[in-house]
Structure 1
């Protein structure tokens, strides 16, 4: 059963009230209580921000790490054009380690996301004992595990060692995200075509 916004708010309020009530019960000077209360509120707010925006924080950290230390992933190939589908999105046949799947190209997705069946077909191993990444989708928050695709090919463009996230909750949907697009020399929409230009294009 999914909890509603009011239930979530009540839970968070109780989590905050408990340490604050403990401070009041100690009968400390009001100024000291106020300082400690502000500190607890700040800690709680930071923890709540990290919990609700974990995927964005992880993406920002990944981008910073790549900027400082570089990345093993690389994209090369020839420029290609992808026509817009009838649903208004851009879809393309993509080969992941030799397994071909029709994928949605989504600039709103931080990381390339694939289904568990696609990962299995592509031979991508994930650490099921690892801590899952919680991401927000149109259907709510879901847990996904990280993996790496040795080779992702779309048309004449190939990305190597591309990080992906894997979850059974994706169903049959596979998404090529910004961690692929951001490594291109350029990408843009021209009329009803999506143009992908690799660094070596």
Structure 2
């Protein structure tokens, strides 16, 4: 019985010591206070410029945007669910890109399924005056029927809002 009591006491002391060691270790590993973190600022992408723009809702219920991309016209389906601007091979060609020389190193999920994509940078996209410079985009190798205006453009606006009849873009 004495042996059992001694074993229980040693176990309890070990548990307390282990808990103190963990607490001491966690205190040393704790992140710096929020005030110090708040001073770190990410590199900001260039802001959008120009005037607010309005895109009328189409009879099919979608928002279709006629955009000036690097000085050429591209028709986009506005897609807030697309994380990036996505270009068809045909639109990429019209923009002066040679799809056969691009590196399709990214796997992406499209409405048609898995596809390969090449990352490109567009100098600017302007829709009725709402302009964003240095826009990351992807050329989708196959399976994309129309180019998509995704969040690498939309997310750089100060705001965008959908009404029953229009999509308002605010630089």
Q: 1:196 to 1:118 in 2, by over 3 A?
A: same
Match of 1:185 in 2: 158
Match of 2:42 in 1: 68
* Deviation, structure 1 residue 74: 3.6
Q: Deviations over 1:24-78 (max 9, x none)?
A: xxxxxxxxxxxxxxxxxxxxxxxxxxxxxxxxxxxxxxxxxxx72333x442110
Q: Which has the higher helix share?
A: 1
- Whether the aligned pair in 1 keeps the contact of 2:110 and 2:143 (CA below 8 Å) is no
Give the TM-score normalised by structure 1.
0.59
- Whether the aligned pair in 2 keeps the contact of 1:124 and 1:147 (CA below 8 Å) is no
Q: 1:170 to 1:103 in 2, by over 3 A?
A: farther
Match of 1:173 in 2: 146
Of 123, 126, 132, which residue of structure 2 is paired with 1:159?
A: 132
Question: Highest relative contact order (Cα 8 Å, sep 6+), 1 or 2?
Answer: 2
Structure 2: where are the runs of 5+ without partners? Answer: 1-40
* Deviation, structure 1 residue 138: 1.6
Q: SS of the counterpart of 1:70?
A: coil
Q: Which has the higher strand share?
A: 2
Q: Distance in 2 between matches of 1:180 and 1:129?
A: 21
Q: 1:125 to 1:192 in 2, by over 3 A?
A: same
Of 65, 69, 72, which residue of structure 2 is paired with 1:92?
A: 65
2:79 counterpart of 1:119: no
Match of 2:111 in 1: 138
Q: Distance in 2 between matches of 1:68 and 1:126?
A: 33
* Deviation, structure 1 residue 127: 9.1
- Whether the aligned pair in 2 keeps the contact of 1:99 and 1:118 (CA below 8 Å) is no
* Deviation, structure 1 residue 171: 4.6
Match of 2:56 in 1: 83
Q: Distance in 2 between matches of 1:146 and 1:119?
A: 11
Greater Cα radius of gyration, structure 1 or 2 = 2
- Give the superposed CA RMSD: 2.1
- Whether the aligned pair in 1 keeps the contact of 2:85 and 2:149 (CA below 8 Å) is yes
- Whether the aligned pair in 2 keeps the contact of 1:145 and 1:165 (CA below 8 Å) is yes
